[in-house]
Amino acid sequence: MNPTELLHFLNKIDLFHFFSSDELAAFLEKSREVQVAKGVVLFHEGDPGQDMYIVVRGMIKVFRDNRVIHLIKPGDYFGEMAIIENQPRSASVAALEDSILLQVPLAVFQEYFSRQPKSLVSIMRTLSQRVRRDLEILGHDYEQINIMVHDMKNLLTPFHLLEVMERTVPGLAGNRYLACMVKARGDLLILMENALAQARRLQIATPIHTDSLDRLIADLLESAWVVHPDIGGRGIRIEVTGSLPEFPFSSLGLCRVLSNLVVNAAQAGEAGGLITIALSREDDEAVVKIIDQGHGIPDEAREKIFQPHFTTKSDGNGIGLISCKQIIEETHCGNLTFESTPGRGTTFTIRLPFSARIG
Ligand code: CMP
């Protein structure tokens, strides 16, 4: 685009409506035209950011992880948030087509936009439109998930037949595996009710009872984990060492945490490998260690392991560890940490205060 065409193009953009021709020409002098080839990533989420970009030609994709948030067309701009907030980039940006951009350095942004009320209003309008659109998308996604959870609850109904079987099929009364399935159905119903209540913004108290964690682990070991494809299915051995006194905890919560951590440990190791669950008491805390001898956590992943949607598994969705951290820290006032040596194994450590006011 030659300078006259570029001036004409900028003139049509809301952000520049009130610029005089001289101002616009001076602004162009201080900005830089850059060509970006299709597929090139301009910056990643979390990078420091000092420039804003106006799209002159082509198409730009704003994305987080693998999710596209927005497509930016000619006349629109991006990269303003890092400058306005003085924070790292809020999302990653790549060219969807061969594109031409106008790069506006921080100093030029401050000179021409930050001090001009009309241009600030124009930027606010753009941001407000983005918030409105994002809220709509979020609301729609949320509703879809609610519909699915609601229908899953209904689809669980046939599992009430388990109790009928227990009563009517000879030899099944008191069967441990049947009891495990009945409990799993009940736990699933509770989680689904919680998810639906959360959607209605209802606060549901987590039931806390004084119980034996040793017994909870023994139950999982003898039933749910035996039939888990990544544990029983691969012949993973689980050894429990030590024991704990009874103390107050959410049995469903710790069941979710232990299952997540043990499944991760099993997936990290070889078939037939060993996982140790070490229970001990340290001062006023219960300490539970889940120790595996698997491939470990790569150094570059250590910082991100508790971030939403971060996963090192090809089919993972990166929410298991977030759920563990929430249950341990928010419900039990405890903490969850890990140590790992790549190639040697990983130990996750759960600390649960016996006397915290939890729930
Ligand atoms: P910045 O945070 O500097 O870098 C990433 C850019 O992506 C950000 O500025 C915005 O320009 C753009 N961006 C981030 N989130 C959204 C969104 N929800 N809708 C449209 N654009 C966005």
**Average confidence score pLDDT of the chain:** 92
Residue 185 tokens read as 């159905």
Question: Which spans in 105-205 are helix H?
Answer: 106-109, 117-155, 161-168, 176-199
Helices 213-222 & 251-268 angle (0-180, nearest 10): 50
For 115, phi and psi rounded to 5 degrees? -100, 5
3-133 with 208-353: one CATH topology? no
Q: What is the mean pLDDT of residues 284-292?
A: 97
Domain ranges of the chain: 3-133, 156-204, 208-353
**Cα–Cα dist 95/40, whole Å:** 6
CA distances from 6 to 33, 72, 119 (A): 10, 18, 19
Q: Do residues 50 and 109 make contact, with C-beta atoms less than 8 angstroms apart? A: no
Which atom number of ligand 1 is nearest to the Cα of residue 92? 5
Q: Which two tokens stand for residue 131?
A: 């918030």
Please report the sign of the dihedral spanned by the C-alpha atoms of residue 139, residue 140, residue 144, residue 147.
positive
pLDDT tens digits for 225-273?
998 999 999 999 999 999 999 999 999 999 999 999 999 999 999 999 9
- What six digits make up the tokens of 322? 């977030």
Query: Rounded to the nearest whole angstrom, what is the distance from the C-alpha of residue 52 to the centroid of ligand 1?
Result: 10
Where residue 319 falls among pLDDT bands split at 50, 70, 90? Answer: confident
The enclosing H or E element of 265 equals helix 251-268
What pLDDT was estimated at residue 14?
Answer: 87
Residues with C-beta less than 6 Å from any ligand 1 atom: 49, 62, 69-70, 78-82, 89-91, 93, 130, 134
CATH superfamily to which 3-133 belongs? Jelly Rolls (2.60.120.10)
Ligand 1 probe mutation, 55, 59, 70, 137, most atoms within 8 A of CB: 70
How much of the chain, in percent, has pLDDT values that exceed 70?
99
What is the CA(78)–ligand 1 centre distance, in A?
6
Angle CA 172–176–181, to nearest 5: 90
Q: Distance, CA 53 to ligand 1 centroid (Å)?
A: 11
Question: Hey, which residues does 350 pair with through a beta bridge?
Answer: 288, 336
pLDDT by residue (tens digit) across 97-117? 999 999 999 999 999 888 788
113-161 per-position pLDDT tens digit: 887 888 899 999 999 999 999 999 988 888 899 999 988 988 888 899 9
CATH of domain 208-353: 3.30.565.10
CA distance 117 to 40: 34
Give the chain's length.
359
Least-confidence region, from 24-28, 276-280, 310-314, 338-342: 310-314
Averaged pLDDT for residues 344-351: 97
Tokens of 34: 């850059």
- Give pTM, 2 decimals: 0.73
Model confidence pLDDT, tens digit, residues 9-43: 998 898 888 888 898 999 999 999 999 999 999 99
Q: 10 Å Cβ neighbour count for 43? A: 19
Reported as a pLDDT band with limits 50, 70 and 90, residue 359 is low
Q: Which two tokens stand for residue 104?
A: 């506006």
* DSSP summary character for residue 156: T
